[in-house]
Amino acid sequence: MNFIKNTKRNIIFVTLIIVVLVIISLYIYFEFFTYQEVRDEPIREIDNNISPFTQQAVFFQVQRIRRKGIIDQMTDSGKLVKLVDNLPIKDKKWIVEGKLTGYDVVQILKGILPGNGWDEKPIFTYNVVIDDFKWNAEKTEYNTWDTGYIFNEFYKTVEEENNTAEIEFKIIEKVKVKKLFGTDVIEEERGDFKVFYDFRNGSWTGVDFFNDSDGYGHYDGTYYEVWFDIRQTDYDGDKIPYWTEVNILGTNPKVDDSKLDPDNDGIPTTWEWKWGYDPMVWDNHTFLDPDMDGLQNIEEYSMEKWLANPYYPEIYLEVDYSDKAPFTPFIIEWEKGKILPIQRLKIKKTNLWGQKHIFWKESQEMIIDRFNQHGITVHIDDGCMNGGGDILPFLSSGGEGGTSTVPHQISEFYNNYFSDERKGIFRYLIVAHTGGWAYNMDYSGQYDTMVVGQTQGFYIRQTDFALSPRAQRVSQAVSIIHEMGHTFGFGYFHNGGVDNMSQEAFVKWYNYKSAMNYFWYRHRYFDYSDGSHGPNDVNDWSALRLYYFQSTFDDGELEGIDFDPTEPPHNRGERG
């Protein structure tokens, strides 16, 4: 018995010894060999050279400048317009009591009134100061709301091995001020910012910094927003500083890394380094979309020239136009009589008055301004980005004439005028003679195509007699953000007030104060709802799905297609 007990003790003792020896061996192994590996690895010495192969200089590029505030100027233009807008007849009871609502009366009057000063454009210039050296741009005076993509560059050579450069930007605007007799024009500073550029890592801090709230290289001030970039002299021209290449990336400072992709993820080293990705580690850039705007990183990279930022949401819109309408205001047709069943000639009116079709600049800037207020940048290519601005054939569509909204006709334009490499990046807008729709092309692809009409009849019927040039520009902006809303996923399942047509629906969904609601659309309400107006309202802005236009077709995208517009919920049953 004792022998058995001793044997068990011996086994336990030996086992403990073995366990201890294994633990000690593992400890020695990891300690020794880890140390050996670190010790044997060559230690990289920091190279403090900043610009060894070139003369050191810094470049500041002004890419685009846009004046904010056009919405107020277009909608509240002049004392008479404001007076009419404040008439105490805009009340919900007017919708119930009569077909001609208080809002109709106000909007008709506002649609006829020309307004005052709506077509005045800001006049401004700017200057750039680099390390106390001032570049004056006063000779380049702008008289516009938006400079477009100008890419003006300023530079300054600096003393070799400087670590930083200070850059200051100021906008000066010419402003009218009232005096006792007449008006005077003075210059006022309307925006400024200062940044500090680091020659070692090629980034900058100050008012603007990497991944800040308004986007890297984007200043969003009270009056102006400015897109800019900063670079330095660089031997291999890849915009990565020598110090960063040698000490951080371990790349060759004499080889252009904007053409190299060592991790084979489809995007070269320069772009990945700029936006905080490790260029030596593979990333799924065909999937990654950190700002959820529908542009995956591989698409953001392809749009780099047009100021795409992977961390700041953007909308790209390409626009083409129907050709000028023919001048045939009347046509003569054979028609069977109502009393006597015989054919007779009858004169019919058409909507063909030789109209041109255009996306007005004021309407463009209104749309850009509205989305800017919600932290989204809209880029519109009407020809300025080398893709939009095509004149489409004018197609006959019955007595009305014009580019119609028959799907196969729009599909032809989509396939022939909207390039494949832009699909999935841009939304496609056609300013046509008739129509007002958002399409899923061929009912099988992406919900990325919109058509808006532009005729006198459209502005009279759809937007309460918008007859003045000012009112028509507002109406166009309203109709476009309405169609854009469908590309964000706004349909009947988003809110029952979307595309409502009947008087009963106008009453029920009155609180849904959005351009998606035809009551407010008709009254030229230029906004989506924020959900603050009471029962049946919803916050459109919080539900915005910028990526929806890339979604492929499913049954849910045609919500309401079988709805009877004469019965609740009074949705007309089509996207529009």
Domain ranges of the chain: 1-43, 78-112, 315-558
Burial profile 203-217: b = 16 or more Cβ within 10 angstroms, e = fewer: bbeebbeeebebbbb
Q: Is the pLDDT of residue 96 over 60?
A: no
- Per-residue pLDDT tens for 359-378? 999 999 999 999 999 999 99
- Rank 239-253, 329-343, 553-567 by mean pLDDT and report only the highest: 239-253
Smallest CA-to-CA distance from 516 within 490, 545, 548, 546 is with 490
| Terminal C-alpha separation, the chain | 95
Burial of 500 (C-beta count, 10 Å sphere; 0-12/13-18/19+): buried
Q: Is the pLDDT of residue 19 over 80?
A: no
Say how far apart CA 271 and CA 240 lie, in whole Å.
Answer: 10
- Per-residue pLDDT tens for 285-305? 999 999 999 999 999 999 999
- 307 touches 150 (CB < 8 A): no
Interior CA angle at 561 toward 320 and 518, to 5°? Answer: 65
Percent of the chain with pLDDT over 70: 82
Q: Is the pLDDT of residue 155 over 90?
A: yes
- Per-residue pLDDT, 421: 92
Q: Is the pLDDT of residue 327 over 90?
A: no
- 452 touches 382 (CB < 8 A): no
CA separation, residue 404 to residues 399, 429, 431, 437, 482 (Å): 12, 13, 11, 10, 18
- Per-residue pLDDT tens for 258-280? 999 999 999 999 999 999 999 99
Q: Which residues contact 541 (CB under 8 A, 6 or more apart)?
A: 374, 528, 529, 530
The one-letter amino acid at 373: Q
| pLDDT average, residue stretch 534-561 | 74
- Per-residue pLDDT tens for 99-150? 667 777 888 888 888 888 899 999 999 999 999 999 876 568 999 999 999 9
CA separation, residue 461 to residues 76, 127, 515 (Å): 22, 48, 16
Q: Is the pLDDT of residue 13 over 70?
A: no
pTM as predicted? 0.85
- The whole-chain average pLDDT of the chain stands at 84
